[in-house]
Amino acid sequence: MTLSAVATRYANALADVVTAGNSPVRPADAVAELQSFAAALKASPELRNALSTPAVPTNRKRAVIGQIAEILKLSAIARNFLFVLVDHRRIAAMPEIVQSFELMVDERLGFARANVSSARELTEAQRGAVSGELERLTGKRLRSRYAVDEALIGGLVARIGSTVYDGSVRGQLQTLEHRLGDQR
């Protein structure tokens, strides 16, 4: 999924605020707060419609966000950021903004994202071993997300940025097929 320029611009502005040395909010907390609001927005079509329709006055939208911020115990920074999104009619871009914000915060804190797919669910020990090996290979600290891909026969596939580490049986079979095809 390509992130829009709008989402990137808003996420970048918030990342500037929360990664500043004097920020009262830890970046990880800001990510969690935005995720919780985005989940509430996703779960309620009525809320989504109320905050995105131009028929509802901005002051009423701000009041709703204020109440939700209290319930979710959002920081003043997160609440004010949501006010900016409503004021500029960008609340519909919330899922993209959150995704972009997570990526920016990770990047600024020196983390890379790893998406790991395996043929079956990995144990915590296996996940730790995989993460350790990927960190050793890349020389970067990683935030790993794990998923099961039933199309894999065995092994796993890890994607870090544009680099793919294919340790799957399917990948090995494809490599073997190409090698055998080249020898003909």
Which pLDDT value is given to residue 110? 84
Are 51 and 70 part of one and the same domain? yes
pLDDT score recorded for residue 46: 94
End-of-domain residue from the set 57, 89, 107: 107
Same domain, 12 and 85: yes
Provide the mean pLDDT of the chain: 89
Based on the fold, state whether residues 21 and 67 are members of the same structural domain. Answer: yes
Please check whether residues 122 and 141 belong to one and the same domain.
yes
Say yes or no: 17 and 65 in one domain.
Answer: yes
Report the pLDDT value the prediction gives residue 171, as an integer from 0 to 100.
75
User: Does residue 139 have a pLDDT over 90?
Assistant: no
The answer on 158 and 117 residing in a single domain is yes
Q: Are residues 80 and 119 in the same domain?
A: no
Region 119-142: what's the mean pLDDT?
89
Which of the four pLDDT bands, split at 50, 70 and 90, describes residue 82? very high
Q: How far apart are CA 153 and CA 86, in angstroms?
A: 47
Amino acid 3: pLDDT: 55
Confidence of residue 163 (pLDDT cuts 50, 70, 90): confident
Q: What's the average model confidence in pLDDT over 75-99?
A: 94
Least Cα distance to 158 among 178, 130, 121, 139 occurs for 130
Residue where one domain finishes, among candidates 71, 91, 107: 107
Task: Supply the range of the domain harboring residue 97.
Answer: 5-107
Of the pLDDT bands very low, low, confident and very high (cuts 50, 70, 90), residue 18 is very high
Percent of the chain at pLDDT > 90 equals 57
Q: What is the pLDDT of residue 1?
A: 42
* 15 shares its domain with 101: yes
The 10s digit of each residue's pLDDT in 24-47 is 999 999 999 999 999 999 999 999
Q: What is the CATH number of the domain that holds 10?
A: 1.10.520
Residues 68 and 132 in one domain: no
The residue among 107, 127, 154 that closes a domain is: 107
Q: Which two tokens stand for residue 21?
A: 């040395």
Residues 70 and 154 in one domain: no
pLDDT for 160: 87
Query: Given this model, what pLDDT does residue 93 score?
Result: 92
Q: Is the pLDDT of residue 56 over 90?
A: yes
Count the domains in the chain: 2
